[in-house]
């Protein structure tokens, strides 16, 4: 057993136990909803009330016993794994990818339970979170440049996503960071974060991390560029706006902010799921499934309208999501929104509706939200924006200034 496994297993057991409890509760609710149908039909018969109370009591007792037994079993497993945990070595990529995917769907709930699988926001290299002090950064980057480019991934992903589609036999598929280092002298850094949290919350955390990074960087930072894919583009917009409002020094070094396939006006898939939830909720038989859909992380729900500030999702006790309003633009920064369409044109109905398969072209090219330069690409799906020669050509042009 590797040194990292006990902590990973404890996190997985915790998620499994929570999932077992939730699913059992929803099955119980579904069972009661089905049972209500015949009980209502015989409600007028003598002794039907007593029979129903007996039935419901037995049913509730069985489900309660199942949940208590499950909680005890999973709790015992967590306790055993906690006792044998050791300091973690660099985890394998597969573990990171799985943890990132889980974070996208249940990251907010898992963080409240302090699940060790959940990513901590930071700058990662070779699977390890970098310490943000000058000595540690100097050891990690002996050839540190005064030009930094920071890459921020999207929903349910990790920094490993930027290496998708890389082929050693084709130099043009090398990750953007590696190519920018060779062509323009940038030092690339990669952010990992819990995508299940609110975008505005991740924006604040990223702003604070960038302040630490720029302050501790081994040489004076002269140029800072932020590149975000999908949700990551909204996170960097939120981070820049928050830092500018708070007067963070690093915003004076920020020169470029590039969003790749980001849903600035929202994503239709999330709006569809939200609409389906509203349709299912009023009916007893479908309500358990609506509640399962409602359990999705708040980070996903922020994508309904592309919420980048607390005001976009906070509305008193109802916490209603509403159309996002433009966040403050950092004055001296060059904003660029790059979007794509699966088809041969960005003017078709398909492009306007589905765009790259997940984000409609008008949503990814919402220039009015930040007075941004826009670039439209054709024939690329959403994930190809992470690593494609056509995208890199524009990144090189923009960051070359």
Most confident of 23-37, 133-147, 333-347: 133-147
Is residue 353 assigned to a domain?
yes
- Rounded to an integer, the average pLDDT of 33-40 is 63
- Supply the pLDDT for residue 57: 65
One domain, residues 161 and 52: no
Task: Concatenate the DSSP letters of all residues of 117-179 into one string.
Answer: TSPPSEEEETTEEPP-SHHHHHHH-TT--SEEEEEE--TT--GGGGGTT-BTTBGGGS-HHHH
> Cβ of 379: how many Cβ atoms within 10 Å?
14
pLDDT band at 16 (very low <50, low <70, confident <90, very high): low
Residue 320: pLDDT over 80:
no
Is residue 283 assigned to a domain?
no
More confident residue, 349 or 192: 192
Residue 250: pLDDT over 90:
yes
pLDDT band at 294 (very low <50, low <70, confident <90, very high): confident
- Supply the pLDDT for residue 367: 81
More confident residue, 161 or 50: 161
Is residue 374 assigned to a domain?
yes
Is residue 45 assigned to a domain?
yes
- Supply the pLDDT for residue 363: 94
One domain, residues 259 and 188: yes
One domain, residues 137 and 230: yes
One domain, residues 53 and 131: no
Is residue 306 assigned to a domain?
no
Is residue 310 assigned to a domain?
no
pTM over 0.75: yes
Q: How many domains does the chain have?
A: 2
- Per-residue pLDDT tens for 213-222? 999 999 999 9
Is residue 31 assigned to a domain?
yes
Q: Which structural domain, as residue segments, surrounds residue 76?
A: 5-92
One domain, residues 132 and 66: no
One domain, residues 157 and 238: yes
- Supply the pLDDT for residue 236: 98
Residue 199: pLDDT over 90:
yes
Tokens of 190: 């990669």
- Supply the pLDDT for residue 49: 64
Residue finishing a domain among 48, 75, 92: 92
Whether residue 254 contacts residue 178, with contact meaning beta carbons closer than 8 Å, is answered with no
- Per-residue pLDDT tens for 257-281? 999 999 999 999 898 888 888 888 8
pLDDT band at 74 (very low <50, low <70, confident <90, very high): very low
Residue 183: pLDDT over 80:
yes
Residue 70: pLDDT over 60:
no
- Per-residue pLDDT tens for 97-114? 888 888 898 889 888 888
Residue 63: pLDDT over 70:
no
- Supply the pLDDT for residue 312: 82
One domain, residues 128 and 83: no
- Supply the pLDDT for residue 61: 61
- Rounded to an integer, the average pLDDT of 200-212 is 98
pLDDT band at 119 (very low <50, low <70, confident <90, very high): very high
Q: What is the CATH number of the domain that holds 220?
A: 3.40.50.1820
Distances (CA, A) of 193 to 29, 140, 218, 299: 34, 20, 24, 11
One domain, residues 143 and 243: yes
One domain, residues 195 and 245: yes
One domain, residues 262 and 144: yes
pLDDT band at 81 (very low <50, low <70, confident <90, very high): very low
Is residue 315 assigned to a domain?
no
Nearest to 173 by CA among 181, 165, 162: 165
One domain, residues 247 and 353: yes
CA separation for the pair 211, 253 (Å, rounded): 11
Q: What is the mean pLDDT of the chain?
A: 84
Residue 84: pLDDT over 60:
no
- Phi, psi angles (nearest 5°) of residue 254: -75, 125
One domain, residues 155 and 71: no
């Amino acid at each position: 057993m590797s040194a990292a496994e006990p902590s990973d297993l404890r996190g997985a057991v915790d998620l499994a136990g929570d999932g077992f409890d939730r699913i059992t509760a929803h099955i119980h609710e579904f069972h009661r909803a089905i049972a209500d149908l015949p009980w209502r039909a015989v409600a007028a018969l003598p002794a039907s009330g007593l029979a129903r109370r007996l039935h419901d009591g037995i049913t509730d007792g069985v489900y309660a016993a199942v949940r208590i037994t499950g909680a005890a079993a999973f709790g015992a497993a967590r306790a055993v794994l906690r006792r044998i945990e050791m300091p973690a070595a660099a985890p394998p990529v597969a573990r990171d990818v799985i943890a990132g995917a889980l974070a996208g769907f249940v990251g907010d709930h898992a963080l409240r339970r302090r699940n060790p699988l959940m990513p901590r926001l930071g700058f990662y290299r070779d699977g390890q979170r970098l310490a943000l002090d000058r000595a540690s950064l100097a050891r990690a980057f002996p050839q540190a440049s005064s030009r930094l480019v920071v890459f921020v991934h999207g929903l349910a992903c990790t920094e490993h996503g930027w290496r998708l589609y890389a082929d050693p036999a084709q130099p043009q598929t090398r990750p953007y960071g590696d190519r920018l280092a060779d062509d323009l002298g940038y030092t690339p850094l990669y952010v990992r974060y819990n995508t299940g949290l609110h975008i505005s919350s991740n924006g604040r955390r990223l702003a604070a991390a960038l302040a630490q990074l720029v302050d501790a960087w081994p040489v004076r930072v002269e140029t800072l560029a932020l590149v975000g894919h999908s949700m990551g583009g909204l996170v960097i917009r939120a981070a820049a706006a928050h830092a500018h409002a708070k007067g963070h020094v690093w915003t004076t070094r920020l020169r470029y902010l590039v969003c790749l396939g980001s849903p600035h006006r929202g994503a239709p898939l999330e709006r569809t799921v939200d609409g389906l939830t509203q349709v299912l909720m009023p009916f007893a038989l479908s309500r358990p499934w609506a509640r399962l859909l409602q359990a999705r992380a708040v980070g996903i729900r922020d994508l309904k309208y592309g919420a980048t500030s607390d005001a976009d999702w906070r509305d008193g006790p109802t916490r209603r999501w509403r159309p996002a309003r433009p966040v403050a633009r950092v004055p001296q920064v060059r904003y660029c929104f790059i979007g794509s369409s699966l088809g041969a044109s960005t003017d078709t109905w398909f492009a306007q509706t589905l765009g790259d398969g997940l984000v409609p072209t008008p949503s990814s090219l919402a220039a009015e939200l930040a007075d941004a330069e826009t670039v439209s690409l054709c024939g690329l799906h959403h994930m190809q924006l992470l690593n494609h020669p056509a995208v890199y050509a524009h990144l090189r042009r923009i960051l070359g200034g």
